[in-house]
Each structure stands twice: as structure tokens, then as C-alpha cells.
Amino acid sequence: MHNVVVLGLQWGDEGKGKIVDYLANQADVVVRFQGGHNAGHTLVIDQQVYKLSLLPSCIVRPGKMAIIGNGVVLDPWALFKEIDTLTERGINISPKNLAIADNACLILPLHAELDRHREELQGGNKIGTTGRGIGPAYEDKVGRRAIHAGDLLQSDFLKQRINNLLSHHNALRQGLNMPLIEENVLFNQITDITHRLTPFVTSTVQLLQHYQQQKRHILFEGAQGALLDIDHGTYPYVTSSNTLTGQVFSGAGFYGPAAVLGVIKAYTTRVGQGPFPTEDLGDIGQKMREIGHEFGTVTGRKRRCGWFDATLVRQIVRLSGAKGLVLTKLDVLDDFDKINIGVGYEILGKSYDYLPSSLQLQQQAKPIYRQVTGWKSSLKGCRDWSKLPTAAKNYIQVIEEFVGVPIFMISTSPEREDIIVRQNVFSL
């Protein structure tokens, strides 16, 4: 298999960045196909920590091509900040190793301002948005008034697009008691960054077709997590894009065979509001947070923590078509005497083997657990399946049996090479 899709199968923060970076050693091209700079990836390479939001994880590896696809909403100012940070650390970024889709929609300063303003108006009913303008930018995309990266190449056409955009936004801002935006101010903001952005802008659809014809290994990197999918996640506490496998084809402009690899954390975390059946609000959740350093890469917010929810993962495995899994952060559970695995729910006196789409029912879901014995020894740095304690192997096998697909790789520390490989995913 020349192409692999890597998806997070929980609420994000599953450790996809490390896994994509590890697999990038075998890949030629890595593609982001949805989301924006609300998605944070942390890479640890030779004890050096790299925090990425927009740039595909392969950008720190020489000789790889990173592509930001049309399904991504792109904040140029955030991108430049990220590029500058990496450049200062010796990472070379140029059109030779980074391409941006000419039909990718831009996030503008007005989007982030609107995002934050509307979130504040929600009061106690906040969605938990990062306030970076992701949602409003996707709204403009669907409303057919967004500005594409390629529009910056034609100044006269750009002025028309800005006029169309502001006819909507200024009416909205007037209703929200926000100051109106002058066309020339926005035009100048955009043209100030045009010279820097446009060298990266190209038809990534044609580029991907070229790589596919050459039978190059292409890795598609998902952002956020499958449980934040706008259609299949815990709506309305979701992101503004589709995060499942189908988005690869529309969000990258690509069609071809691809194996789907799902990334799961050995426990469950969530940032922001929304249902979380296996959340632990006591000492166990706090212990997981401290050991796992569970704080948002982008926002710094504390992540909510709880036991592994196998029911939700099985549900998403079936939706995503995942052929195998990667289990991350297994070492975080080293010190637990007993470990719970969520295998169902009780909702209003009735048993469920899936999480219903109704928010009211989701909020009433109480987990049904299966308990296994912990291994009580350090797994950090383990790279050999035969050296895992029996109890750790049992925990993995229980998950495999319940979820219904094998676990191909197991991460035992934040370091890039601390991974147990049971099967090469490019050989699927």
C-alpha cells in the first residue's frame, strides 16, 4: 500500500504528531486535509520539542514534501509565525518542501475576532472553541464568500472577493454591535502578506496526482479527532470540519487506495465542553493529567482525563474503516493497580453498546467497566513486544478483542523511536 491515512479516533490529542513523524521516515509526502491552527501536534526528537499547528509533521524531516490541502482553513499570520519559529531552530522551509493548495480558504483577522466575540456571548453555554476563527472561516467557505489562497495572485479579483465578504460580515457585525471593517484596511492586511504566501501556493491536486503516478508513499495526516467530526461527533461540541476518512478525498483533492490507521491513547482525554462518559473528576483523572502532561498544545488548557472508552473507539473504527490501530501513552498507566476499560453505557436504566447521537442521552451516559490488573512497572523506552509485562499485553489484547481490529504499533514514551512495531503499516 503506497498511501496511509492517520486519524485520531478519540477527541484529539491522541499523539498523532509523533506517529505521523515516525511513519514519515517511510513516506515521501505528508498531507494535511482538514482543520486549521486549532490542531496542535507535539514532536519530541532527540530531546528537542517541536510544537506544530498548521505545518504537517514531516516538516522537521529533510527530504520530505509537506502539503496543506484545500480542506484546511489557513491563517497566513499563524503559518508565518510557525515557520519563523522553526527557521530559528535550523529547520529549512521553502516551496521545495511545503506546498499550499490554491483553493484553500484563508482565515482572516475578522474571523478570529468574530469567533471570540460570539463565544463570549454564549456565557455558560460556550462550545469551547479556541477562538482562532476556524468556525467562521468554514462558515464563509460554505457560504461561498471565502477568500482562497490563490485569489491573492490577482489584486483586482481580490478586491471583488473582499467586497463580497464584507457585505456579509459588516451586516453581521452591526447586529452584534461590533465595529465595521473598511475594505481598504482588509485589502492592505492581505496584500501585506501576499508576497510571502504566494510562493507556496500551487495546485496541490495536480501535485498529488504527480506523486501518485510515481507511486510515491503518501501519508495523510488528520487533525483533531474523529469524535469531534461535525457529523458524527458529540454535536454541538465538535469542530467545524469532517475529521473522518471521507474528508481525505475532498480535503486533499485525492482519490486512490489508502489504508486507514487509527491512533488511540491508552486512556481518554478531552479539551473543552461536551459529553465524556468515562471522565474521572477525582484523583485518578488528576494523576493521568500530571503523568501524561495533559495540557493543550495550542491553548494550554487542562485536558479532562478518564479511562479508555472502548465502546466509542469501536464505534469510530467502524465509521472510519480503520484496518489497524496505534496505541499511544501506554507508559502513563504504569503506576495503576487496577485499570478500567469502558465496554458500554447505562442510560436512563437501559444498556447501550454505542453512544447515541442525542446530546441529552450522551449527557446521561454512565460507563460500564471491565477491570484489568495493572503491570506496576515502567514501560518507558520499551521497543520490543516480548519485553512488555504480561499484564500490559493483556490490556492491549482486551482492547483489540473488543474494538475488533489489531494494534499494529505501541508508543511507550514521547521520544520518536520508543515505539513497538508489530506490523509495518505500509505493507497493509
Residue ranges of alpha helices (H) inside 10-125 are 16-23, 76-88, 109-121
Q: Where in the chain is the domain with CATH 3.90.170.10?
A: 1-100+203-428
Query: Where are the alpha helices (H) located in 176-272, listed in sequence order?
Result: 183-197, 204-213, 246-252
Take residue 48 and report the three cell numbers written for it: 528537542
Indicate the SS3 state at residue 200: helix
Length of the chain: 428
What would you measure as the largest C-alpha separation in the chain, in angstroms? 67
Confidence tier at 159 by pLDDT (50, 70, 90): very high
Decide: residue 193, CB within 10 A, 0-12 exposed, 13-18 middle, 19+ buried.
middle
Sign of the dihedral defined by the CA atoms of residues 317, 322, 324, 330, in that order: negative
- Is the pLDDT at 121 greater than 80? The verdict is yes
Residue positions annotated with a catalytic role? 13, 41
Residues with Cβ within 8 Å of 88's Cβ and at least 6 positions away in sequence, in order, are: none
User: What Å distances lie between residue 423 and 23, 171, 261, 407, CA to CA?
Assistant: 12, 55, 12, 9
Give the residue range(s) of CATH 1.10.300.10 domains in the chain. Answer: 105-197
CATH of domain 1-100+203-428: 3.90.170.10
Q: Would you place residue 127 in the very low, low, confident or very high pLDDT band (cuts 50, 70, 90)? A: low
Separation between Cα atoms, residue 408 and residue 143, nearest integer Å: 41
39 φ/ψ sector (left φ>0, alpha ψ -120 to 50, else beta): beta
d(CA 360, CA 269): 21
Amino acid 308: pLDDT: 98
Region for 409 from its dihedrals, namely left if φ exceeds 0, alpha if ψ lies in -120 to 50, beta otherwise: beta
126 — pLDDT class (breaks 50, 70, 90):
low
Asked whether the predicted pLDDT for residue 40 surpasses 80, the reply is no
CA distances from 227 to 8, 241, 249, 319 (A): 9, 11, 19, 11
Q: With 70 as the cut, is the pLDDT of residue 376 above it? A: yes
DSSP state of 277: T
* Cβ pair 186, 166 in contact under 8 A: yes
Are the CB atoms for 392 and 379 separated by under 8 Å? yes
> How much is the pLDDT for 152?
95
Is it the case that residue 298 has pLDDT exceeding 70? Answer: no
Q: What is the Cα Rg of the chain in Å?
A: 22
105-197 CATH fold: Adenylosuccinate Synthetase, subunit A; domain 2 (1.10.300)
The model carries a pTM of 0.90
Please give the grid coordinates belonging to residue 85. Answer: 519559529
Determine the distance from the C-alpha atom of residue 179 to the mean position of all C-alpha atoms in its chain, rounded to a whole number. 33
Count Cβ atoms within 10 A of the Cβ of residue 170 and give its class: 0-12 exposed, 13-18 middle, 19 or more buried: middle
Q: What is the mean pLDDT of residues 252-258?
A: 87
The SS3 call for residue 2 is coil
Segment 192-251, tens digit of pLDDT? 999 999 999 999 999 999 999 999 999 999 888 999 999 999 999 999 999 999 999 999
Distance between CA atoms of residues 73 and 138, nearest Å? 7
